[in-house]
A and B are shown apart, each in its own frame.
Chain A
C-alpha cells in the first residue's frame, strides 16, 4: 500500500483567510482524491485530482472555493479559500492503489 502524509495535521484559522493543505505520497500514483468529513458526519468527495489535468469537482464544490493543484505524481494541495466556520472539518486525501483507496491521516481544521 502507499504511505500518505498530510500537512498540517491540524490548524485553527480566522474566518476570511485561506489554508493550503498538502498531501504527499511515497509512490507515484495517477489518481488522488480530496474528501471532507464534517463534524460527526461521514466522508464526502470534494474532487478528483489527476496529474496533468484540471481537477474534477463533485456537485456542491467549486474551484474558486477549493482550488487544487497536482504538480506531479506524488503531491497535491487543496486550498480552502475565504473560510467560514462552516468549513470546520477534517480534510483527507486519498490515493487509488490497485483496487483500493488509501487515506492520509487528515487535516483537522477549525475556523473561528
Chain B
C-alpha cells in the first residue's frame, strides 16, 4: 500500500526566502512521485514529477524536488519565494504504473508568502 505524508499543513515564508515543503512517502513498489499546485478556485497543475530517472527534478516556476530513497522523501524547494507562489501544494504517489493507477495524495500544504 502507498501513502503520503506532508509535514505542515500551513507554511509561511517571506518574499525572497527559501521555500521548503516536505513530503514523505511509503510505497511497496518503486514509486512515481508528483507535486501539484492548486491556486485559489482553480484545478490542479503539475509542478514536477519523478519517474525513476534523475533524482533531482526541476519543474515549472523555479521549483525543484529531490528524490531520496534512503529517507523516503521528495521535498519541494524553491530558492526565492514570490508572492505568486501562494497556493496549496499537494504531493502524490503512484505505483510503477505511473499515471495508469490511483494517485494517492497527501493532505496538502498551504503556502503563504509575506511581502
Residues of A within 8 A of B (CB): 1, 6, 31, 33, 41-45, 48, 58, 92, 94, 96-106, 108
Contact = CB atoms under 8 A, between A and B. Distances in A.
Contact of A101 (B42, B103, B108): B103
A43 B105 contact: yes
Q: Is the interface of A mostly helix, strand, loop or mixed?
A: strand
Q: Is the interface of B mostly helix, strand, loop or mixed?
A: mixed
Interface stretch (B17-25, B43-51, B66-74, B79-87): B43-51
15 contacts: A33-B102, A33-B103, A41-B107, A42-B107, A42-B108, A43-B90, A45-B102, A94-B44, A96-B99, A98-B99, A99-B49, A100-B34, A100-B46, A103-B43, A106-B42
B33 to A, nearest CB: 11
B44 A92 contact: yes
A44 B100 CA distance: 16
B43 A106 contact: yes
B90 A42 contact: yes
Name the 4 nearest CB pairs between A and B, nearest first.
A96-B99, A105-B43, A99-B98, A103-B44
